[in-house]
Amino acid sequence: MSLLKVEGLGKRFGGLKAIDALSFEVAAGHVHAVIGPNGAGKTTLLNLLTGLYRPDAGRIVLDGRELAGEPAHRVAAAGLARTFQNLQVFFNMTALENVMTGRHLHESLALLPALLRLEPMVWAENRCRARAEELLQHVGLGAHAGARADALPYGMLKRLEIARALALEPKLLLLDEPAAGLNPTEARGIDALIRSLAAGGMTVLLVEHNMRLVMEVSDRVLVLDHGTKLAEGTPAEVARDARVIEAYLGAEGPPAALAPAAAEAAGAAAGAGHA
Ligand SMILES: Nc1ncnc2c1ncn2[C@@H]1O[C@H](COP(=O)(O)OP(=O)(O)O)[C@@H](O)[C@H]1O
Ligand SMILES: [Mg+2]
C-alpha cells in the first residue's frame, strides 16, 4: 500500500525545470531513497513535499490526503516531518528540550482537553517529557538528555535532529542527508537507526550521498537527473542500470561509487592515506 503518491509533480525556476513531470510512490513501511547528481532536484523535491515550495503542477498525496500547495505547518500536521541538511537544532537548549520543542506541534493538537481542564497542564507536560525521553533513547541519546546541544558532537546532533522530527509522530519521515559530515562509524550508526525505525513500521524517504548507506538500508531507490526520474528499483537494480552509471560518470566520478564494496574499499584506502 502506498503511503505517499506523487503524480506529475513540476517546479520551474524561471526557464529551468528543477522538477519535471515526476511521479513515484512510497510504500508504507519502506525506506525509499532519492539519489542523483548535484543539481538533479533532490532538495527541490523535499521542499515541494514539505510545503516550503508550491508546485507548478502535480499532486502530492499522503495517506489519501492532497498536500500539494498546502503550507508547511499543515503538511507537518498531516504527518510529514523532516530533518534538515543544515541542522536546525537550538544550541542553547538541552537535548531533551530540543525534542520537547519538536513535540510542541503534536502536543498542541492534543492540548484541547488540558485547556478544557479535562487534564491538568502539568500532566500534559509530563507526558511530553516522557515521550521526548523515549525518543532520545530510541536514537541512542538517552544518556545525554540533559546535555546542552552545543556540548554534543556532530554525530549526536544528527541523531538529535532525527529525534526532534520523530517527536511529531509523523507518518512519513524525510531525512535530508543524515550521514553527511559523519565518519564511517557514525554513518553506520545512522544505518542501524534507520533500520530500527523501519522495523518499528516508520516509512522513510531518504536523500543521501553516502552510497553505502543507501544501498544497505533502502528497499527502493529513485534516481533523479535533471528533475526527472532516471531510474527506480531495488538498490541492486539501480546499481547496474547503465543510465545511472552514466549519470554518475558524468557528474561525480567512477561508477564504483554505486558499488557498496568498492566504495567501502575506496573509503578505507582514503582513510589509510591520511594516517
Ligand atoms: N530557489 C531556487 N531558485 C532558482 N534555482 C534553483 C532554486 N533551487 C534550486 N534551483 C536549481 O534547481 C536545480 C535543482 O537544484 P536542487 O534541487 O538543489 O538539486 P540537488 O539537491 O539534487 O543538488 C539546480 O539547477 C538549481 O540550481
Ligand atoms: Mg541538494
pLDDT digits (tens, 9 = 90+) for 191-214: 999 999 999 999 999 999 888 899
Rounded Cα distance between 140 and 159, Å, is 8
Kindly state if the Cβ of 15 falls inside 6 Å of ligand 1.
Answer: no
Let me know if 200 is exposed, middle or buried by CB neighbors in 10 A (0-12, 13-18, 19+): exposed
CATH ID of 2-40+54-210, from 3.30.70.20, 3.40.720.10, 3.90.1170.40, 3.40.50.300 = 3.40.50.300
Domain boundaries, the chain: 2-40+54-210, 230-275
Highest mean pLDDT: which range of 18-32, 98-112, 167-181, 201-215 = 18-32
Residue 260: the pLDDT is 47
DSSP secondary structure string for all residues of 48-112: HHTTSS--SEEEEEETTEE-TT--HHHHHHTTEEE--SS----TTSBHHHHHHHHTHHHHHHH-H
Distance 11 CA to ligand 1 centre (A): 10
Residue of higher predicted confidence among 103 and 4:
4
Q: Is the pLDDT of residue 27 over 80?
A: yes
The phi, psi pair for 106, rounded to 5°, reads: -65, -45
Which residue's CA is the nearest one to ligand 1's atom 1?
Answer: 13
Residue 116: the pLDDT is 61
Which of 43, 44, 222 best tests ligand 1's pocket when mutated (most atoms within 8 Å of CB)? Answer: 44
Rounded Cα distance between 93 and 145, Å, is 10
**Nearest of 27, 24, 91, 18 to residue 56 by alpha carbon:** 18
- The model's pLDDT over 234-253, given as tens digits with 9 standing for 90+, comes to 999 998 898 888 887 654 44
Confidence of residue 111 (pLDDT cuts 50, 70, 90): low
24 forms bridges with which residues in the sheet? Answer: 6
The reported pTM is: 0.85
Rounded Cα distance between 157 and 159, Å, is 5
Angle at 50 between CA 42 and CA 93, to 5 degrees: 105
